[in-house]
């Protein structure tokens, strides 16, 4: 069977707020110049429909089995749905995506769920799901530079994971990267990642929202390309989390997907992935979506409780879930649209709830980050409230690898985290180095 090349398909920018603005993906534009709305990458769905659902599945499965990049990438193995006209030589892939779907059968049984699976998006080159989107953005920049668009560097504000991803992909592509980080508000691992990858790291005396304002101002006129999630290219990679999840489940979506949300780009991407699969017939049923926030940074929760009223930006307070300590989410409107389309709900978690939920999952062989803890805690609460019915099949998007947050884990098991009562603390046993002491410490193992 002949495969048409990916370049038989086309995608372009369109205004996400419904006005008729269109632009090439080669244009340096982040917002609609007519109405100020965010842009989205619009695919030629009619052209994509000329390939049957069965053929898309076959094609994706075939590439999924490849050990070689870019076919073996969870994003570029589905490149017709990401950035179809991008020439292969401009793809910058580090082997993102194609991550495990880890079942948590004990926790599922305890909660009365038919299935509970963690989509381990942090098992990835830089340890977070941000890689899924950054591969598309940096590839697009490589392509623009190759065609003479004058871009000196790529810049982002970050709560720690976006900057790590940007730095690694730019390093691979040989493109300068500049990252704006809120001083003392990212983990040590997150700080050292862009340093190691040779990015220019600006550590600023402000929070994420403060960094965001500055990077937007700087990128407005200096030939620096903005890599934050208002840049809708990233959504094109991140939406593959939804596609890969369905693929993992034999193209049968779960009843619920629970995802942590800060700037809300990822929740928006999830919706976009499901919508595309629905319109091309790869799935026929909509899952419901639950977005989880930390109580300390919950502007979406507050809006939801008032029936999705206008976003009221707030000053996010420090939370263990530092990557979602965001008070003014840029993708608020996109996320509300997705939540409405997927009969969604929003829930939040306290510091103690998120830390204990993360620790509970760890006891089943994973190593969850605090943000995934927020999602798991929200899941526990939604099941207790009866919103997520017993017997449901639930997938939780795990957004980063817990190894990036070693301080959080150590503090939890030492019992030293503020506002947290550690229910599952498992501190090391300190002993003299004698056989008797060791035997004594192991006597209860049976």
Ligand X SMILES: *Cc1c(COP(=O)(O)O)cnc(C)c1O
Binding residue (CB under 6 A) for ligand X from 92, 369, 378, 383: 369
Q: Does position 300 bind ligand X by CB under 6 A?
A: no
200-204/177-182 β-pairing: parallel
- Listed in sequence order, the DSSP H helices in 115-196 are 130-146, 161-173, 188-196
Binding residue (CB under 6 A) for ligand X from 266, 319, 356, 422: 266
Binding residue (CB under 6 A) for ligand X from 6, 264, 270, 346: 264
Footprint (CB under 6 A) of ligand X, residues 193-212 = none
Q: For residue 146, give the DSSP letter.
A: H
| C-alpha dihedral (367, 371, 373, 377), degrees to nearest 10 | -160
Q: Does position 273 bind ligand X by CB under 6 A?
A: no
Q: Three-state DSSP class for 117?
A: strand
Q: For residue 401, give the DSSP letter.
A: B
Binding residue (CB under 6 A) for ligand X from 80, 117, 120, 161: 161
Residue 247, both tokens: 């693929």
Residue 168: closest CA among 203, 196, 129, 200: 196
Residues that bind Zn ion (CB under 5 A): 15, 17, 19, 21, 32, 34-35, 37
Question: What is the maximum span of the chain, computed from C-alpha positions, in angstroms?
Answer: 78
Stretch that binds ligand X, among 167-175, 179-187, 254-262, 385-393 (CB under 6 A): 254-262
Q: Does position 133 bind ligand X by CB under 6 A?
A: no
Do the beta carbons of residue 29 and residue 23 sit within 8 Å?
yes
Alpha-carbon span 47 to 56, nearest angstrom: 13
What is the pattern of x (binds ligand X, CB under 6 A) and - over residues 23-42? --------------------
Binding residue (CB under 6 A) for ligand X from 74, 95, 125, 265: 265
Residue nearer to ligand X on the CB measure, 85 or 124:
124
**Closest separation in Å from C-beta 266 to Zn ion:** 23
Residue nearer to ligand X on the CB measure, 93 or 263:
263
Residue 79: closest CA among 93, 65, 67: 93
Q: Does position 163 bind ligand X by CB under 6 A?
A: no
Residue 444, both tokens: 């209860």
Sequence-distant (6+) residues with CB within 8 A of 141 are 151, 154, 173, 175, 225
Residue nearer to Zn ion on the CB measure, 34 or 285:
34
Q: Three-state DSSP class for 364?
A: coil
**Closest separation in Å from C-beta 246 to ligand X:** 20
Residue nearer to ligand X on the CB measure, 282 or 358:
358
Binding partner at 15 among ligand X, Zn ion, none, C-beta below 5 to 8 Å by kind? Zn ion
Binding residue (CB under 6 A) for ligand X from 84, 254, 260, 273: 260
What is the pattern of x (binds ligand X, CB under 6 A) and - over residues 224-253? -----x------------------------
Stretch that binds ligand X, among 52-60, 201-209, 260-268, 423-431 (CB under 6 A): 260-268
Residue nearer to ligand X on the CB measure, 78 or 371:
371
Q: Does position 190 bind ligand X by CB under 6 A?
A: no
Alpha-carbon span 198 to 250, nearest angstrom: 41
3-class secondary structure per residue, 244-301: HHHHHCCCCCCCEEEEECCCCHHHHHHHHHHHHHHHCCCCCCCCEEEEEEEHHHCHHH
Binding residue (CB under 6 A) for ligand X from 77, 125, 237, 261: 261
Binding residue (CB under 6 A) for ligand X from 400, 408, 409, 412: 400
Alpha-carbon span 289 to 299, nearest angstrom: 17
Alpha-carbon span 78 to 6, nearest angstrom: 9
Q: Give the count of residues interacting with ligand X (CB under 6 A).
A: 18
- Cis before residue 343, ω within 30 degrees of 0? no
Q: Does position 323 bind ligand X by CB under 6 A?
A: yes
Residue numbers at the binding site for ligand X (CB under 6 A): 128, 130, 161, 229, 260-267, 323-324, 369, 371, 399-400
């Amino acid at each position: 069977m002949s495969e048409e090349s990916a370049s038989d398909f086309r995608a372009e920018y369109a205004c996400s707020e419904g006005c008729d603005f269109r632009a090439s993906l080669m244009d340096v534009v982040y917002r609609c110049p007519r109405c100020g709305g965010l842009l989205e990458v619009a695919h030629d769905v009619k052209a994509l429909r000329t390939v049957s659902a069965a053929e898309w599945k076959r094609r994706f499965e075939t590439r999924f089995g490849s050990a070689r990049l870019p076919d073996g990438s969870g994003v570029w193995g589905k490149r017709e749905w990401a950035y179809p006209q991008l020439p292969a030589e401009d793809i910058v892939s580090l082997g993102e995506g194609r991550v495990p779907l880890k079942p948590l059968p004990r926790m599922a049984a305890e909660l009365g769920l038919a299935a509970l699976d963690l989509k381990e998006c942090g098992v990835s080159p830089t340890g977070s799901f941000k890689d899924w989107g950054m591969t598309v953005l940096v590839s697009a920049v490589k392509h623009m530079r190759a065609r003479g668009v004058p871009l000196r560097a790529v810049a982002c504000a970050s709560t720690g994971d976006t900057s790590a991803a940007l730095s690694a992909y730019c390093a691979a592509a040989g493109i300068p990267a500049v990252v704006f980080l809120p001083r003392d508000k990212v983990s040590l691992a997150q700080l050292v990642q862009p340093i190691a990858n040779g990015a220019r790291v600006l550590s600023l005396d402000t929070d994420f929202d403060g960094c965001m304002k500055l990077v937007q101002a700087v990128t407005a006129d200096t030939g620096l390309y903005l890599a934050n999630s208002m840049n809708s290219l990233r959504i094109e990679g991140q939406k593959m989390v939804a596609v890969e999840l369905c693929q993992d489940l034999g193209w049968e979506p779960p009843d619920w997907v629970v995802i942590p949300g800060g700037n809300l780009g990822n929740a928006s991407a999830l919706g976009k992935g499901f919508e595309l699969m629905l319109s091309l017939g790869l799935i026929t049923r909509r899952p419901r979506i639950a977005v989880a926030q930390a109580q300390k940074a919950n502007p979406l929760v507050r809006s939801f409780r008032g029936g999705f009223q206008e976003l009221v930006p707030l000053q996010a307070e420090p939370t263990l879930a530092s990557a979602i300590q965001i008070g003014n989410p840029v993708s608020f409107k996109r996320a509300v649209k997705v939540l409405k389309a997927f009969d969604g709900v929003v829930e939040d978690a306290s510091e103690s709830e998120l830390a204990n939920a993360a620790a509970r999952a760890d006891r089943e062989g994973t190593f969850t980050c605090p943000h995934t803890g927020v999602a798991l805690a929200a899941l526990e609460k939604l099941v207790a409230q009866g919103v997520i019915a017993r017997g449901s099949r639930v997938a939780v998007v795990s957004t980063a690898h817990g190894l990036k947050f070693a301080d959080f884990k150590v503090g939890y098991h030492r019992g030293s985290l503020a506002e947290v009562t550690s229910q599952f603390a498992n501190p090391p046993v300190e002993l003299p180095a004698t056989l008797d002491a060791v035997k004594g410490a192991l006597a209860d193992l049976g």
